Amino acid sequence: MDSKLNLLLNLEENIFHLVQKRCYNKESLKRSELDTKALMKELNINSKIEVNKNYLLSGINTKLDINEKIVEMYGEKFGYELIDLDILNLIIKYISTCGKILQIEIHDLYGVRALDYQPKQTVKYLESEYIINKYRKGYGFGVSPETLTTFKNIFLNIVIPFANYYLLSIYRV
């Protein structure tokens, strides 16, 4: 179980670093466009990859029944870029790992279930105060406020609600 909790922390860090890279890329958009044109010329590609919902859904590695809803919500909040495929894969892996932790806990309790179950009882990282307190303003040198805001929004609006929904659907069965 400890290895799964460490995996969650590692996934959280990786999501943070990809969000930081995404925000940095937005700041240097002109340079990115030049790099893209040079790469397309080097690879002899005539058309640019269209990053949309279907493209992202086809690139997700872990299949959950809520993948489409997650991708839709992510697109509504942040739009779609190529790096979002990696971010979405990590988000879905995070949610899937939370589900595995719950299944281990249910197995350890021999199927005895509480009437007032809350997912934050199983995974303490699914509490909104955890994210808000851990990633405060002035989190670290070189971390822009936009990165912190985007990361908090991803966790508070996508990861925590969908993880809670997924864990409750497992717990009900």
Global confidence as pTM: 0.86
Give the residue among 94, 126, 117, 121 at the shortest CA–CA distance from 172.
117
**DSSP label at residue 115:** T
- The one-letter amino acid at 139: Y
d(CA 14, CA 32): 22
Q: What does the pLDDT read at residue 50?
A: 81
Owner of token pair 């509490």? 127
- The one-letter amino acid at 39: L
What is the Cα Rg of the chain in Å?
18
pLDDT tens sequence for the chain (173 residues): 789 899 999 999 999 999 999 888 766 554 555 555 665 666 666 666 788 999 999 999 999 999 999 999 999 999 998 889 999 999 999 999 999 999 999 888 887 777 788 888 889 999 999 999 998 877 777 788 899 999 999 999 999 999 999 999 998 86
User: Can you give the residue ranges of every domain in the chain?
Assistant: 2-172
Owner of token pair 């659907």? 169
d(CA 151, CA 155): 6
Give the residue among 41, 38, 19 at the shortest CA–CA distance from 30.
38
Residue 79 tokens read as 């739009």
Could you tell me what percentage of the chain is helix, strand and coil, using 3-state DSSP and rounding each to the nearest 5? Answer: 70, 0, 30
d(CA 90, CA 88): 5
